[in-house]
Chain A
Amino acid sequence: GDSVTQMEGPVTLSEEAFLTINCTYTATGYPSLFWYVQYPGEGLQLLLKATKADDKGSNKGFEATYRKETTSFHLEKGSVQVSDSAVYFCALSPYGGNYKLTFGKGTLLTVNP
């Protein structure tokens, strides 16, 4: 079945550091890929998405590129801020069929001033 594997946290960075959170997936066909963010005490928010190979999703300075050859969708940001501290989830939705998402286990990011 479909699965998502993301790097285990927690990840602790200093403000303005470069961020990478790795995500790889297993799925048949061409799934859509997503990154969600969960700030403390809140529900999940969609951060960015990509629906086909080589698409780049971007939002709030975060980027991720859909790499079918490596089945990856790594999240990057060039300069993190304290306000980026949150849990980040990688997810996929299968091509066609139903609309449910399969999530990774989440990566806690803490950014220190």
Chain B
Amino acid sequence: DVKVTQSSRYLVKRTGEKVFLECVQDMDHENMFWYRQDPGLGLRLIYFSYDVKMKEKGDIPEGYSVSREKKERFSLILESASTNQTSMYLCASSPGTSGKLEYFGPGTRLTVL
């Protein structure tokens, strides 16, 4: 089974802190994604990566950055956390050429106080 793991299920941070959310997949997938999920808004794509050291902005990249130094790991960084970044963050991965499926991690619920 494909496994996508996220470093924390719940996280509480203070405004202005630098926050790292880590995601690891064990299926050698080329593509990895970060979404945020908010009630009434569904899932919105923050950033995605189709190869090591490659990244592309999604629909709502402002206030976020990402890092992909190794194929299996994709990190989301909040340089200076703000209260409007309180949300559920979902990581996903998919194979590069065999389809457009995405496999999701369990999510990290981040609260910024």
Q: Are these two chains actual partners, yes or no? A: yes
Question: Residues on A close to B: CB < 8 A?
Answer: 32, 34, 36, 42-46, 49, 89, 93, 98-101, 103-106
Interface centre among A34, A43, A46 (most CB of B within 10 A): A43
Please report the total number of B residues contacting A with Cβ < 8 Å: 27
What residues on B are CB-neighbors of A99 within 8 Å?
A: 31, 48, 50, 94, 96, 100, 102
Contact check, A89 vs B42: say whether CB atoms are below 8 A apart.
yes
Contact check, A100 vs B105: say whether CB atoms are below 8 A apart.
no
Question: Residues on B close to A: CB < 8 A?
Answer: 4, 31, 33, 35, 40-45, 48, 50, 56, 58, 90, 92, 94, 96, 99-107
Give chain B's interface secondary structure class: strand
Contact check, A43 vs B107: say whether CB atoms are below 8 A apart.
yes
Known A43-B107, A93-B100; judge A100-B90 contact (CB<8 A).
no
B41, chain A: closest CB distance, angstroms: 6
What residues on A are CB-neighbors of B40 within 8 Å?
A: 105
What residues on B are CB-neighbors of A42 within 8 Å?
A: 106-107
What residues on A are CB-neighbors of B92 within 8 Å?
A: 44
Beyond contacts A100-B48, A100-B58, A105-B42: 8 other A-B pairs, Cβ-Cβ < 8 A, are: A43-B90, A43-B104, A43-B106, A46-B102, A49-B101, A103-B35, A103-B42, A103-B44
